[in-house]
């Protein structure tokens, strides 16, 4: 293979998680007397971590204290309800099976809270990923390269040996900041036009197409 390691984003890349995120967020907003947002709005707001998601979702003029309370309650709700409607995208299990059989080092690097990342990866892909990293304290989230570089270090491979697969402009920027090749997934939360506007150079419309790139 051209690449000995493949790193993946989680939301919109490996797993369809949008409805569980939206449901947890809207339950929390309503709990705090705030209007819910649409699924399309949620789709547009995800990708930069839970704090940024809540910041975008709460009404203009919300106090910092109230926003922190919404974030706290959203994280608590989502931790409990992160796997109600979530499911792998078609072809993802087959892709991961082929990559694992070929001996590729595999990692998940996400801006989703670390606990939810580890829970979902364990539930849907047991024994597949050597590394699963999510948002946590004292770690700069994507598009900072820190989590990607930490995952590469744990896999024991150099950046020239790895490719990063994601579905958003955040993933494109993160790969660039880390010096990795980026492959953009068209089945996720962003349109082809949006991805190209943010510099996507390699796009695939189905997961198994990735094999043609990395072999």
70/27 Cα distance (integer angstroms): 10
79 is catalytic: no
CA dist 162 → 107, 147, 157 (Å): 10, 14, 7
| Token pair for 111 | 């801006």
The vertex-109 CA angle with 182 and 211, nearest 5°, equals 45
CA dist 87 → 12, 13, 36, 205 (Å): 10, 11, 23, 18
User: What angle in degrees, to the nearest 10, is found between the helix axes of 50-57 and 64-81?
Assistant: 120
Set 9, 11, 167, 171: catalytic member: 9
Place of tokens 């809540």: 54
How many CB atoms neighbour CB 65 within 10 A? 8
Q: Could you tell me if 4 and 162 are in contact, meaning their C-beta atoms sit under 8 angstroms apart?
A: yes
Q: What residues are annotated to the active site?
A: 9
């Amino acid at each position: 293979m051209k690449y000995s390691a493949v790193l993946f984003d989680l939301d919109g890349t490996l797993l369809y998680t949008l409805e569980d995120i939206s449901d947890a967020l809207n339950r929390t907003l309503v709990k705090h007397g705030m209007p819910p947002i649409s699924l399309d709005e949620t789709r547009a707001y995800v990708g930069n971590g839970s704090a940024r998601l809540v910041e975008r979702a709460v009404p203009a003029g919300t106090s910092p204290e109230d926003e922190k309370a919404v974030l706290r309650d959203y994280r608590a709700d989502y931790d409990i309800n992160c796997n109600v409607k979530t499911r792998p995208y078609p072809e993802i299990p087959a892709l991961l099976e082929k990559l694992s059989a070929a001996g590729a080092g595999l990692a998940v690097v996400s801006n989703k809270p670390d606990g939810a990342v580890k829970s979902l990866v364990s539930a849907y892909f047991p024994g597949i990923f050597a590394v699963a990293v999510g948002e946590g304290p004292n770690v700069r989230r994507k598009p900072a390269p820190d989590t990607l570089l930490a995952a590469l270090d744990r896999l024991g491979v150099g950046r020239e040996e790895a490719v990063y697969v994601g579905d958003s402009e955040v993933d494109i920027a993160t790969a660039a900041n880390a010096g990795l090749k980026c492959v953009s997934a068209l089945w996720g939360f962003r349109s082809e036009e949006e991805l190209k506007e943010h510099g996507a150079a390699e796009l695939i419309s189905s997961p198994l197409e990735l094999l043609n790139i990395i072999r």
